[in-house]
Amino acid sequence: MLNTDNTIVVKFGGSCLSTSEDLVKAAKMVVAETIKGRNVVVVVSALKGTTDQLLRLAEGSTGGNISSAELDEILSMGERVAARLMASALRSAGVKSISIDPYSEYWPIFTNDRFGNADPLVKETKKAVVEKLTPLIESQVVPVVCGFLGKTLHGQITTLGRGGSDTSAVLIGNCLAAKEVILVKDVEGVLTGDPDFIESTALIKSLDTEEVVRLTSAGAKIIHPKALWFKPRDMLIRIVGFQNGDLTATGTVITGSGFPELQVLASDTNVSMITIVGEEAVKPEALFSILSAVREAGGKILSAALEPLSLILYISGENTKKVVNSIHRTIREKGLGKAISLFENLSMITVKGGNLETSPGIVDTVTSLLGKAKINIFGILTISSSVRIFVNQKEKGKATDLIKKNLEVKD
């Protein structure tokens, strides 16, 4: 019986693997964990630069006239070579190991046929992981699985999108109920900012899943967003630096539940839309004063929007009148705006989920849908992997049901 508490999945990014010395170092890192008695599954990306080279060759030799399915087959060569090299390095270091690619009898990851950016079929993948990988692990064999790749139920190779090896590792960890997934990268962990632009950055020891989503959606290259779909709450994701040569290095730990599939949630809280007009209202010093006025009056800011001549706040709280008067007093005393207006009895509907970025046209779908139903929208904001829509409270139920039905979201 596999001891899942003692099982880890380790993914080596391609940026860490470019030479034979890198492969030897990676193998030693894995061996150190097996000596401790830990069960290890290794996931590898293609060696540094390989995928880009294959892509250039494929597009150059065909003039770009190549199908997505054929391109996935070609791009898979990078991971297939890397897996064989890593398994060989592990065997040379005295550990039983086997490389596993989509043509192997042990292949575990199955996907739909969306070539170039396929989505895993979780039920089929979990069955394959349990039936094929578990016996190998129990036999003290270290499987080296190609990251980034999948296979359709018809046997065609797919790719999971750039950075998809993260997804491979987290998905396998999920299916094995592994205690931890370790992503080995060319940085020591997640920093407080991009060191290419920000001075004196520091290592962040821990991040919640939703914090990671916020950062990655804003351009931070922490983890492939799709990987977070498959993170169970009790499984840790740790990002460590290859340069440390140690998989137990502190790095950055990602905690919390994975980001769910698409959801539509209607808030029970009464929302008020407060608009402050005047060019002074959008200046930094004015924002601080106005937000302080809201807080002092006991209001909670749900969202905010700036325009050249106005600031719009969406606020919840028990005493809207107190909040409005607090803001009005502030802008009058400090000359931070010309006038203030209020619209009460609104509701906030949130469309959110880890796969929002793979569902194009959400905003257009929602606005068109509500427009045809003659439901007025008092505001629509996109924040990370979520869309917030404000409608009249009386129309909340109708609007929510329409959005769920058209986006095919289950209750």
Domains of the chain: 4-255 (3.40.1160.10), 263-407 (3.30.2130.10)
Question: What pLDDT is recorded for position 411?
Answer: 59
Specify which residues 149 forms β-bridges with: 159
Question: What pLDDT is recorded for position 243?
Answer: 92
Question: Which residues make Cβ contacts (< 8 Å) with residue 221, sequence separation at least 6?
Answer: 163
Question: What pLDDT is recorded for position 359?
Answer: 61
Question: What pLDDT is recorded for position 354?
Answer: 62
Question: What pLDDT is recorded for position 142?
Answer: 98
CA distance 224 to 237: 12
Within 13 A of 398's CA, how many CA atoms are on the CB side? 14
Look up residue 135 and give its two tokens: 């016996």
CA distance 59 to 153: 27
Q: Which helix (H) or strand (E) holds 406?
A: helix 396-407
Question: What pLDDT is recorded for position 299?
Answer: 92
Model pTM? 0.84
Q: Say how far residue 144 (Cα) sits from the centre of its chain.
A: 24
- Which residues of the chain fall below pLDDT 70? 259-261, 354-360, 384, 410-411
Residue with tokens 């290890």, as numbered in its chain: 40
Question: What pLDDT is recorded for position 342?
Answer: 94
CB atoms within 10 A of CB 165: 27
Residue with tokens 């190779």, as numbered in its chain: 157
> Residue type at 219?
G
Question: Which residues make Cβ contacts (< 8 Å) with residue 134, sequence separation at least 6?
Answer: 2, 176
Work out the angle between the directed axes of helices 68-92 and 50-62 (0-180°, nearest 10): 150
The DSSP letter of residue 65 is -
Q: Which helix (H) or strand (E) holds 273?
A: strand 271-277
Q: Which helix (H) or strand (E) holds 142?
A: strand 142-146
